[in-house]
Amino acid sequence: MGKDMVDICVTLDFDDAWLAEVAAVSPEVHVHKHLAASADDLPPDLLARTDVLYTGTALPTRAQAPRLRWVQLDTSGCDHVVGTDLWASGTPLTTIGGVSPRPLAEYVLMMILAHAHHLPETIRLQQDARWPDFPHRWNRLMPRMLPGATVGVVGYGRIGREIGRLAAAFGMNVVGLRRGGPRAGERYGEEAAGDPAALVGPEGLYDLLAASDYVVLTVPYTDGTRDLLDAAAFAKMKHGAMLINAARGGVVDETALLDALRSGQVGRAALDVFAEEPLPPSHPLWKEPNVLVTPHIAGFAPGYHEQVKALFTENVRRFLAGSPLVNLVDRKAGY
């Protein structure tokens, strides 16, 4: 890089100490912060001299940022970049994938346990101040067995592995679907001691659905995963199984899901993501009796600022050294 300064623009509201630690990577680095939801919110002169951009949604065109050489996205996915000028430009993109596997996996296990122990029904009983008779409690509130039950994880990457580790600790069988193996530079975080999953490829989706008591979605949203769970897929699921979607809303055909819930083919669904967000108040999923809706919170990570700072500073060092970046997006794969 020689003695040329590298101008980094950060569009998120990180504090001065966070920015200072990024700048301390090298005297060649100059860090600017300007809060922005879109590229049009950034001063044109700032964009024009930006070499590196840390952002979530401010996605400039090549004309706006002619010097741009790398974009660090503040998201684990990149589906919101597909189809933009930035995507077409070929400018390297990296994600913060690997920051939230543990809390997201805990979210999934929380939903499995809530289902197994009938938590939604017991909450309704409390709201009605109703103590059911013994036959009701014995026949309807008896816990479902987790040991021996099967969790099928569609998208067995960093998050899926952590889900598998936690599920195995409860005595559950784990089947993971993954296209290919880990990619170079992909950050996994803490490595589990052994991998409990039986792995299948995309061709094994229907077999996984048929075998699983709990189907968990953690796939990236791409052309290949759009409406991955459609009417045909729901028909292949084990009757009465539970669906947990912590991926992206577009991975599920929501109309087909509603039909499958109302027929009993899908017994219950826990949904953190939706095709339209925020989920409109009039959407039928809000009031569907066997659905638990959460407002896209499964991936919230305690210690997020420190984790993304560690990832970004590592990537800044790699960028300055001309080394491969961590979590580099593969545009052919779409994530």
Residues marked active site are found at: 248, 277, 296
Which residues, at least 6 apart from 89, have a Cβ–Cβ distance to it below 8 Å? 62, 68
Residue found under tokens 């010097």 = 67
* Cβ contact 6:51 at 8 Å: yes
Q: How far apart are CA 329 and CA 194, in angstroms?
A: 27
Q: How far apart are CA 119 and CA 128, in angstroms?
A: 14
Provide the 8-state DSSP code for 250: G
Q: How far apart are CA 123 and CA 115, in angstroms?
A: 12
**Phi, psi values for residue 136, rounded to 5°:** -60, -50
For the residues of 75-97, what is the DSSP string, one character each?
Answer: SS--TTTTTSHHHHHT--EE--T
Q: How far apart are CA 261 and CA 242, in angstroms?
A: 10
Measure Cα distances from 280 to 60, 193, 297 in Å. Answer: 29, 42, 17
8 beta partners: 31, 52
Q: Is 215 helix (H, G, I), strand (E, B) or coil?
A: strand
Residue found under tokens 């009701």 = 136
Can you say how many angstroms the Cα of residue 21 is from the centroid of all Cα atoms in its chain? 27
Tokens found for residue 157: 């990457």
N-term to C-term CA, the chain: 28
Can you say how many angstroms the Cα of residue 317 is from the centroid of all Cα atoms in its chain? 26
